[in-house]
Structure 1
Amino acid sequence: MTNSISQRQMLEYWIQLTHPEKVLAQFPGINDGIVASMFGIDVATYNEIRRGFQARVRQAAEELLADADFAALVDRLPFAPGAKVVGFGSSTTDDLQSWLEILRAVFALRRPQDGVRFVNAGVSGDTSTHEIARFSTVVNERPDWIICHISSNDGRRHGVSPTKPLVSPEETEKNLVMLRHFAASQTSAKWIWMTPTSLIEEKIAAFPFFQLGQIMFYNEDSACVAEAVLKQPDPAVNLWELFGQPADAELVSWDGLHPSLKGNKRILRALVTDLVKHFA
């Protein structure tokens, strides 16, 4: 670990992005105390850290809603009272301060009477292949809406001088078609895609965890995933274009990969705009 990153920062990073209770949901007895012990801390510290993310998410929602134009778009979002909205993806969805968590807070503040329910079905580290394997969990939610945020994990590379990403561009395209087929044949949900964001490769290469695990992400690979998403016939939010090339440093967290809180606010603005454009 570098001197510039404290143990507390890394602890908060893991709690923000990694949620064992989702992966181990089928095992009885999983609770906050057990999860806290996995991080090597007591449950009070664990809950304190989570409350910190919740407070930042609420503040982000308040800041967005202070913009009258954004608030007006939220009022026009086509989520019927009692609707269930599932956000599906990997860590960029699973994140405790993700665009989905901010959207949840926005509705709690702006449209609480509608009782719209948000389900975070993101699991950190998933590729589109993993998402096929666990799509039944989305079906079981009986969603009215599915927001599918395909991340850069398909393009993730492991080891010294790897010769291919985890999932080839051709297989990514096939996986996206399969995911959409599952949704169309097993649910009546409306669907919208979101592409990966662009990255900051220098920060990724310098991040201690990625160095230790010999993990790397490249914009070239993420661009291929984004292209595959944009080929699909359903509406898609082009986050690749939104973040810029190279990515705007203010929109990306200190690991070079995940959106910052400001980046997640920007993502949500784009998503809300596109939902109104295509469905309202």
Structure 2
Amino acid sequence: MKRAFACWSVLLLLAALFAPGPVRAATTTIVAFGDSLTAGYGVTPEDAFPVRLEAALKARGRDVRVINAGVSGDTSAGGLARLDWSLADKPNLIVLELGSNDMLRGIDPGSTEANLDAILRKLTDAKIPVLLCGMFAARNLGPDYVGRFDAIYPKLAQKYGVPLHPFFLDGVALDAKLNQGDGMHPNPAGVKIIVDRIAPVVEKLLPAQ
């Protein structure tokens, strides 16, 4: 009887030692895919949008890694050409911010729309969730250009059924206190406002952990 009890004790001890522990959810990978507004032009690396977004989401208890896939000066055509490189990171979510340089260069809105359409089609085919960040055209470009450009983002969001953050620079654009000397790129205070407004939207799109 004592021997049987001893055997059961050993078995229970071994079971406890080798029992699997709680499974830790995998880190969620987010790719911030855009131009200089994403890349962090003119601010320190610590103040770039992807870094600040990652910090904000971690402060909300989310285990995330935000990859900075912003390229200063990039257009929608440039983004489309390099998209496959970022897909190699196997992201769980892409925050897509492109088009401002197209607008600043006066590129035909039809071309911008076609490039963004192709990007969204690739992401849809790859089954990668995306948050589309909109942009507004400078009003001095004239009502025809402004109307065609501003309509791109709502139109594509509806076409592909993706969430739209209507204006990436919401609360920051045209405020000298929140922008660098060029009046176009946010300073650290401006980046904070952008992140404060977009982080709750991004969090809702993250997989359960």
TM-score (norm 1): 0.54
Alignment match, 1:231? 155
1:144 aligns with 2:121: no
Distance 1:94 1:240 in 2: 13
Distance 1:277 1:110 in 2: 12
Alignment match, 2:35? 90
Distance 2:206 2:54 in 1: 19
Deviation track 1:224-278 (CA, whole Å, cap 9, x = no partner) reads 544312222221112267237x722222221111112122111112212323566
Letter in 1 for 2:73: G
Q: Give the match's secondary structure for 1:130.
A: helix
After superposition, the Cα gap between the structure-2 partners of 1:81 and 1:110, relative to the gap in structure 1 and judged at 3 Å, is farther
Letter in 2 for 1:227: A
Q: Give the match's secondary structure for 2:69.
A: strand
Give the gaps of 5 or more residues in structure 1. 1-79, 158-164, 202-216
Alignment match, 1:101? 51
Q: Give the match's secondary structure for 2:30.
A: strand
Distance 1:223 1:100 in 2: 30
Alignment of 1:23-102 (within 5 A): 81-95=26-40, 96=45, 97-102=47-52
After superposition, the Cα gap between the structure-2 partners of 1:106 and 1:269, relative to the gap in structure 1 and judged at 3 Å, is closer
- Alignment size in residue pairs: 173
Deviation at 1:109?
5.0
After superposition, the Cα gap between the structure-2 partners of 1:240 and 1:122, relative to the gap in structure 1 and judged at 3 Å, is closer
Distance 1:179 1:267 in 2: 23
1:177 aligns with 2:105: no
Distance 2:142 2:177 in 1: 17
After superposition, the Cα gap between the structure-2 partners of 1:225 and 1:91, relative to the gap in structure 1 and judged at 3 Å, is farther
Alignment match, 2:61? 111
CA contact (8 A) 2:39 2:49 kept: no
Deviation at 1:196?
3.0
Deviation at 1:93?
0.7
After superposition, the Cα gap between the structure-2 partners of 1:197 and 1:92, relative to the gap in structure 1 and judged at 3 Å, is farther
Deviation at 1:99?
2.2
After superposition, the Cα gap between the structure-2 partners of 1:229 and 1:152, relative to the gap in structure 1 and judged at 3 Å, is same
Distance 2:185 2:163 in 1: 23
TM-score (norm 2): 0.70
Alignment match, 2:108? 168
Distance 1:226 1:240 in 2: 13
Give the gaps of 5 or more residues in structure 2. 1-24
CA contact (8 A) 2:103 2:137 kept: no
- Select the structure with the greater relative contact order (CA < 8 A; seq sep ≥ 6): 2
Deviation at 1:156?
2.2
Alignment match, 2:135? 196
Q: Give the match's secondary structure for 2:96.
A: strand
Instruction: Determine which structure has more spread, i.e. the larger CA radius of gyration.
Output: 2
After superposition, the Cα gap between the structure-2 partners of 1:226 and 1:249, relative to the gap in structure 1 and judged at 3 Å, is farther
Distance 2:93 2:183 in 1: 30
Distance 1:279 1:83 in 2: 8
Letter in 2 for 1:101: V
The two structures, once aligned, show a CA RMSD in angstroms of: 3.0
